[in-house]
Amino acid sequence: MVCKGLYRALCIREKYMQKSFQRFPKTASKYLRNIDGEAWVAKESFYPVFTPPMKKGEDPFRTDNLPENLGYHLKMKDGVVYVYPNEEAASKEEPKPLPYPNLDTFLDDMNFLLALIAQGPVKTYTHRRPKFLSSKFQVHQMLNEMDELKELKNNPHRDFYNCRKVDTHIHAAACMNQKHLLRFIKKSYQIDADRVVYSTKEKNLTLKELFVKLKMHPYDLTVDSLDVHAGRQTFQRFDKFNDKYNPVGASELRDLYLKTDNYINGEYFATIIKEVGADLVDAKYQHAEPRLSIYGRSPDEWSKLSAWFVQNRTYCPNMTWMIQVPRIYDVFRLKNFLPHFGKMLENIFMPVFEATINPQAHPDLSVFLKHITGFDSVDDESKHSGLMFSSKSPKPQEWTMEKNPSYTYYTYYMYANILVLNSLRKERGMNTFLFRPHCGEAGALTHLMTAFMTADNISHGLNLKKSPVLQYLFFLAQIPIAMSPLSNNSLFLEYAKNPFLDFLQKGLMISLSTDDPMQFHFTKEPLMEEYAIAAQVFKLSTCDMCEVARNSVLQCGISHEEKAKFLGANYLEEGPIGNDIRKTNVAQIRMAYRYETWCYELNLIVEGIKSGE
Amino acid sequence: MVCKGLYRALCIREKYMQKSFQRFPKTASKYLRNIDGEAWVAKESFYPVFTPPMKKGEDPFRTDNLPENLGYHLKMKDGVVYVYPNEEAASKEEPKPLPYPNLDTFLDDMNFLLALIAQGPVKTYTHRRPKFLSSKFQVHQMLNEMDELKELKNNPHRDFYNCRKVDTHIHAAACMNQKHLLRFIKKSYQIDADRVVYSTKEKNLTLKELFVKLKMHPYDLTVDSLDVHAGRQTFQRFDKFNDKYNPVGASELRDLYLKTDNYINGEYFATIIKEVGADLVDAKYQHAEPRLSIYGRSPDEWSKLSAWFVQNRTYCPNMTWMIQVPRIYDVFRLKNFLPHFGKMLENIFMPVFEATINPQAHPDLSVFLKHITGFDSVDDESKHSGLMFSSKSPKPQEWTMEKNPSYTYYTYYMYANILVLNSLRKERGMNTFLFRPHCGEAGALTHLMTAFMTADNISHGLNLKKSPVLQYLFFLAQIPIAMSPLSNNSLFLEYAKNPFLDFLQKGLMISLSTDDPMQFHFTKEPLMEEYAIAAQVFKLSTCDMCEVARNSVLQCGISHEEKAKFLGANYLEEGPIGNDIRKTNVAQIRMAYRYETWCYELNLIVEGIKSGE
The CATH code of the domain that includes B552 is 3.20.20.140
User: Within a domain: residue B212?
Assistant: yes
Chain B residues whose CB is inside 8 A of the A525 CB are 523-524
Residue A442 forms contact with B (CB below 8 Å): no
- Chain B closest CA to A438's CA: distance in Å? 23
3-state secondary structure of A110: helix
Each residue's pLDDT tens digit, B63-116: 999 999 999 999 999 999 999 999 999 999 999 999 999 999 999 999 999 999
Cβ separation of B223 and A537 shorter than 8 Å?
no
Cβ separation of A232 and B535 shorter than 8 Å?
no
Rounded distance between C-alpha atoms, residue B334 and residue B200, angstroms: 24
Average pLDDT, integer, range A155-170 = 96
Check pLDDT > 70 for residue B613.
no
pLDDT in the model for residue B385: 74
Integer angstrom CA distances of residue B577 from B141, B318, B592: 21, 27, 9
Rounded distance between C-alpha atoms, residue B503 and residue A117, angstroms: 46
Cβ separation of B525 and A524 shorter than 8 Å?
yes
User: Within a domain: residue B116?
Assistant: no
- Please report, rounded to a whole number, the percentage of residues in chain B having pLDDT higher than 70: 100
In this complex, the residue of A495, A535, A541 whose CB is nearest that of residue B536 is: A495
Which of A214, A233, A492, A522 to mutate to probe the B interface, most B CBs <10 Å?
A522
**Measuring CA to CA, which residue among A517, A482, A487, A508 is closest to residue A597?**
A508
Among all residues of chain B, which has the CA nearest to that of A224?
A: B153
Return mean pLDDT, chain B: 95
- Chain B closest CA to A224's CA: distance in Å? 5
pLDDT in the model for residue B1: 81
In this complex, the residue of B486, B528, B531 whose CB is nearest that of residue A536 is: B486
**Measuring CA to CA, which residue among B19, B125, B121, B145 is closest to residue B475?**
B125
User: Within a domain: residue B543?
Assistant: yes
Task: State the total domains in chain A.
Answer: 1
Check pLDDT > 90 for residue A535.
yes
User: Within a domain: residue A453?
Assistant: yes
pLDDT band of residue B384 (cuts 50, 70, 90) is confident
3-state secondary structure of B205: strand
pLDDT band of residue B386 (cuts 50, 70, 90) is confident
Average pLDDT, integer, range A218-238 = 88
Q: What is the DSSP string of A530-568?
A: HHHHHHHHTT--HHHHHHHHHHHHHHS---HHHHHHHH-
User: Within a domain: residue B48?
Assistant: no
Cβ separation of B222 and A489 shorter than 8 Å?
no
Cβ separation of B489 and A536 shorter than 8 Å?
yes
User: Within a domain: residue A559?
Assistant: yes
Cβ separation of A496 and B523 shorter than 8 Å?
no
pLDDT band of residue B242 (cuts 50, 70, 90) is confident
User: Within a domain: residue A441?
Assistant: yes
- Chain B closest CA to A179's CA: distance in Å? 8
CB B389, CB B413: distance < 8 Å: no
Kind and range of the H or E element at A359?
Answer: none
pLDDT in the model for residue A485: 97
Determine the length of chain B: 613
pLDDT in the model for residue A534: 96
Residue A156 forms contact with B (CB below 8 Å): yes
Q: Which domain holds residue B427?
A: 141-600
Check pLDDT > 60 for residue A613.
no
Each residue's pLDDT tens digit, B258-308: 999 999 999 999 999 999 999 999 999 999 999 999 999 999 999 999 999
Helix then strand then coil, % of chain B, to nearest 5: 55, 10, 35
Check pLDDT > 70 for residue B531.
yes
Higher pLDDT pick, B241 / B577: B577
pLDDT in the model for residue A308: 97
Beta-carbon count within 10 A of B47 CB = 15
- Chain A closest CA to B319's CA: distance in Å? 22
Chain B residues whose CB is inside 8 A of the A582 CB are none
Cβ separation of B160 and A486 shorter than 8 Å?
no
Among all residues of chain A, which has the CA nearest to that of B153?
A: A225
pLDDT in the model for residue B91: 94
Kind and range of the H or E element at B511?
Answer: strand B510-512
CB B570, CB A561: distance < 8 Å: no
pLDDT in the model for residue B156: 93
Rounded distance between C-alpha atoms, residue B308 and residue B266, angstroms: 7
Rounded distance between C-alpha atoms, residue B264 and residue A147, angstroms: 37
Phi-psi region of A21 (alpha: psi -120 to 50; beta: other; left: phi over 0): left
pLDDT in the model for residue A425: 97
pLDDT in the model for residue A41: 87
CB A75, CB A82: distance < 8 Å: yes
Each residue's pLDDT tens digit, A512-525: 999 999 999 999 89
Burial per residue of A126-139, b for 16 or more beta-carbon CB atoms within 10 angstroms, e otherwise: beebbeebeebbee
Torsion of CA A265, A269, A270, A274, to 10 degrees: 170
Integer angstrom CA distances of residue A328 from A170, A295, A341, A403, B242: 20, 8, 10, 10, 57
pLDDT in the model for residue A387: 83
pLDDT in the model for residue B289: 98
Question: Looking at B447, B460, B521, B560, which residue is catalytic?
Answer: B460
- Does the active-site annotation cover A362? no
Q: What is the DSSP string of A319-336?
A: B-EEEEEE--HHHHHHTT
Each residue's pLDDT tens digit, A430-474: 999 999 999 999 999 999 999 999 999 999 999 999 999 999 999
ipTM of the complex: 0.91
Phi-psi region of A157 (alpha: psi -120 to 50; beta: other; left: phi over 0): left
H helices present in B85-161, as ranges: 87-91, 103-116, 120-153
H helices present in B214-291, as ranges: 223-226, 238-243, 251-258, 267-283
Rounded distance between C-alpha atoms, residue B230 and residue B223, angstroms: 12
Q: What is the rounded end-to-end Cα distance, in angstroms, of chain B? A: 7
Check pLDDT > 90 for residue B455.
yes
Amino acid B266 reads G
Amino acid B417 reads N
User: Within a domain: residue B98?
Assistant: no
Check pLDDT > 90 for residue A141.
yes
pLDDT in the model for residue B224: 93
pTM of the model: 0.94
Rounded to the nearest angstrom, the gap between the alpha carbon of residue A274 and the centroid of all alpha carbons in its chain is: 21
pLDDT in the model for residue A385: 74
Rounded distance between C-alpha atoms, residue A406 and residue A414, angstroms: 12
Rounded distance between C-alpha atoms, residue B276 and residue A530, angstroms: 23
In this complex, the residue of B160, B219, B537 whose CB is nearest that of residue A223 is: B160
pLDDT in the model for residue A440: 95
- Chain B closest CA to A383's CA: distance in Å? 25
pLDDT in the model for residue B43: 79
A positions 495-514 inside 8 Å of B (CB): 495-496
Rounded distance between C-alpha atoms, residue A559 and residue B224, angstroms: 29
Amino acid B433 reads F
Burial per residue of A470-494, b for 16 or more beta-carbon CB atoms within 10 angstroms, e otherwise: bbbbbbbbbbbbbbbbbbbbbbbbe
pLDDT band of residue B237 (cuts 50, 70, 90) is confident
pLDDT in the model for residue A111: 96
Amino acid B489 reads N
pLDDT band of residue A306 (cuts 50, 70, 90) is very high
- Please report, rounded to a whole number, the percentage of residues in chain A having pLDDT higher than 90: 93
